[in-house]
Amino acid sequence: MLAAIGSVDNVPDFIKKVKAGEGRLMGFGHRVYKSYDPRATVIKEQAYRVFEVTGRNPLLDIAIELERIALQDDYFVQRRLYPNVDFYSGLIYEAMGFKPAMFTVLFAIGRAPGWIAQWQEMLRDKAQKIARPRQIYLGAGERDYVPMDQR
């Protein structure tokens, strides 16, 4: 999203598009934290520390401006859309050498222990007969598989 915005100068137009339903603001909002996600504060500080070592990513300036505008704009404040932990973590992952295509996997790895704990709790709760996860797979359908030794 930050790369698509391109520069700090483009942030106001991007915000207008999001408000008009023509764009999507990623890395904002959380179903539990209805105010600023406290983890986002920590990860933002860590991003600055990482960039002291790796060099500043120009996308950080776009992120900071996007956050600044969103925190002051009634549209986002009324909807309680504040940066979440993933907003700055992608920049850190990129500084570590990960490609953006890997970000979803990296986000999931950190959440896996919590998902497993919830699953175990569900199994122990005899009153809960069935699980109905709300995740809907939207990815590719069946794909051909080539065994490793034939690649």
Residues with a known catalytic role: 30, 86
d(CA 130, CA 88): 36
Q: How far is CA 52 from CA 56, 60, 90, in A?
A: 7, 12, 16
Structure tokens that stand for 24 in this block:
């999507």
Q: Are 54 and 95 in contact (CB under 8 A)?
A: yes
